[in-house]
Structure 1
């Protein structure tokens, strides 16, 4: 069985459309989303609508929660967020905020006998960063009851084995932090014997169109550059 995992779309419809096209080519059995549909990009309502229209199971991200709250509850108070958060709070429709507010904070799947835990940040918190070589990640994996942990939030994809447990971060569809503007997502393949293999895919999208829309909407230059450069 093949599972596609996407996350951190952040209002970037151009990136989401291209990634979904690529997923269709991979002939997966299920696509799931690990949250952060909104924030930063200019298409929050369109992204939510597409996830709903495609019936993609989704969990809540930290930026989703902060847009619902209208405060810095789960995000850092940075220069970029001082623009992005109030813009998204004002832009996201009430019905979409209701949808985001009612998303679960985790999901558990069973693929061919492999138990998979899906979270946005970590099993402990929506906004905890799990980087593959950090001490907190090792502790989380040690305590993990499932066979596989799949998370997001860092916008940095990675796959690492911790003993007999597999750690996956799918990266970011809409706002990667890998030094290039390419979207990333993960394909997890679990065969009938329970053997699992994870691969990170990179997808290019129409960046120029996104940038033009952001400029028309008077988005700050430092926010636009972060999309162009694939950086923080």
Structure 2
């Protein structure tokens, strides 16, 4: 199964438009959004093209293809604009080979792991820093941020194709981080 991951949109319309364009071209079955969708948050600068209401309109065009989790900047008011569920603190995707535990990263994350089995994948955002690495018995995957990258990184998103996970640069699809999860 092919999946696309985006995190920490923070209301950026240009980032949303780019993500949706890439999603349509990718052949991915679902777009997984790892929280912080509409609001920039009090500790972040306004991202380029900050237009939360228009971001909602654009994402709603593929609402039936979105699996999302709530980030620390998301609220019930945001849910009123979105046609896909956003208020779950975590979700799971089960493949034939493993479980992907989806979370924003502020409740569960690398420093506060949920109960997972060897070979499972922790998928999170929140830090805005790309990760695709085996850590102990779990694979950690963070697609970075599509709007407000941190740590000297560029805006990025993630792709899963079979057992291969990649973090790709939003603007030129250059591979930033990658790894294979064991089947």
Q: Distance in 2 between matches of 1:94 and 1:147?
A: 29
Change in Cα spacing, 1:199 to 1:64, as seen in structure 2 (3 Å) is same
Change in Cα spacing, 1:179 to 1:107, as seen in structure 2 (3 Å) is same
Q: 1:112 deviation in Å?
A: 2.4
Asked if 2 retains the 8 angstrom alpha-carbon contact of 1:117 and 1:148, the reply is yes
Change in Cα spacing, 1:94 to 1:109, as seen in structure 2 (3 Å) is closer
Please list, as runs of the form range in 1=range in 2, the aligned pairs for 1:192-211 lying within 5 A after superposition.
Answer: 196-204=163-171
Q: Distance in 1 between matches of 2:31 and 2:83?
A: 18
Asked if 1 retains the 8 angstrom alpha-carbon contact of 2:130 and 2:167, the reply is yes
Give TM-score scaled by structure 2 length: 0.75
Deviations 1:157-197 (A, max 9, x none): 111102442110111112111425x421110122xxxxx21
Residue equivalent to 1:166? 139
Asked if 1 retains the 8 angstrom alpha-carbon contact of 2:131 and 2:144, the reply is yes
Q: 1:101 deviation in Å?
A: 8.8
Asked if 1:6 is matched to 2:16, the reply is no
Q: CA RMSD in A?
A: 2.7
Higher strand share goes to which structure? 2
Give TM-score scaled by structure 1 length: 0.61
Unaligned runs of 5+ in 1: 69-91, 131-135, 191-195, 206-232
Please list, as runs of the form range in 1=range in 2, the aligned pairs for 1:88-167 lying within 5 A after superposition.
Answer: 95-96=80-81, 103-121=87-105, 125=107, 130=110, 136=111, 140=113, 143-145=115-117, 147-167=120-140
Q: Distance in 1 between matches of 2:2 and 2:30?
A: 7
What is the aligned residue count? 161
Q: Distance in 2 between matches of 1:101 and 1:52?
A: 11
Residue equivalent to 2:181? none
Q: Look up the SS of the partner of 2:73 in the other structure.
A: helix
Q: Look up the SS of the partner of 2:74 in the other structure.
A: helix
Selected match of 1:186 from 158, 169, 174: 158
Change in Cα spacing, 1:102 to 1:13, as seen in structure 2 (3 Å) is closer
Unaligned runs of 5+ in 2: 41-46, 173-183
Residue equivalent to 2:73? 63
Q: Distance in 2 between matches of 1:64 and 1:111?
A: 28
Q: Distance in 2 between matches of 1:93 and 1:114?
A: 31
